[in-house]
């Protein structure tokens, strides 16, 4: 009972402290990624929070003397609940927050297929998954060019193994929506 009371208290304090910003996320935002081709959709659910869904592809290449060489293109899906926490500070400094330009924390879930959609490099597992929390920063320029970096601890799993590790993503893309 003490744990659930503490957890409820923590959620209430976190919600109060995170809601102290006057910034506002975009209601809907669509971003096309270039580095690993894909699409990201962000849907605003409060002044500082979004639900984000991402579909992208992963590339792998193996050149080996001991195993068969090959390459593969794999589908990857990811969902996040992003909380942008520094909008007010950015506004006070005269900085941009449009197109969800800011820093965020986000619990996330990612799933990748283990069988190549294109290519001949298949993994022993049919899928890979990861669940964790990331710290991220997202910057979008006036013309819509978007940069995103996120990193954090994650628990990775498949049908054969599981382990803790570090999740890291670097994205470069273009925001399709017009600036508000």
C-alpha to C-alpha distance for 168 and 149, rounded to whole angstroms: 8
C-alpha to C-alpha distance for 58 and 12, rounded to whole angstroms: 38
- Tens of pLDDT, residue by residue over 126-161, are 999 999 999 999 999 989 999 999 999 999 999 999
- In this prediction the pTM is 0.80
Distance of CA 175 to CAs 91, 143, 171, Å? 21, 9, 12
Would you tell me how many other CB atoms lie within 10 Å of the CB of residue 135? 13
- Tens of pLDDT, residue by residue over 114-129, are 899 999 888 889 999 9
C-alpha to C-alpha distance for 140 and 81, rounded to whole angstroms: 19
């Amino acid at each position: 009972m003490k744990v659930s009371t503490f957890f409820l208290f923590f959620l209430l304090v976190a919600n109060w402290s995170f809601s102290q910003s006057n910034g506002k996320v975009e209601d809907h935002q669509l971003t096309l990624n270039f580095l690993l081709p894909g699409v990201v959709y962000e849907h605003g659910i409060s002044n500082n929070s979004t639900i984000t869904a991402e579909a992208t592809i992963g590339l792998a290449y193996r050149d080996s003397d001991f195993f068969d060489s090959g390459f593969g293109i794999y589908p990857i899906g990811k969902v996040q609940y992003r909380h942008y926490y520094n909008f007010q500070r950015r506004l006070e400094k005269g900085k941009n927050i449009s197109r969800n330009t800011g820093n965020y924390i986000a619990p996330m879930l990612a799933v990748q297929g283990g069988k190549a959609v294109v290519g001949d490099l298949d993994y022993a597992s049919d899928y890979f998954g990861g669940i964790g929390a990331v710290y991220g920063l997202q910057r979008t320029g006036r013309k819509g060019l978007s940069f995103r970096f996120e990193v954090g601890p994650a628990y990775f799993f498949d049908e054969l193994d599981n382990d803790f590790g570090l999740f890291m993503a670097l994205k470069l893309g273009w925001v399709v929506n017009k600036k508000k």
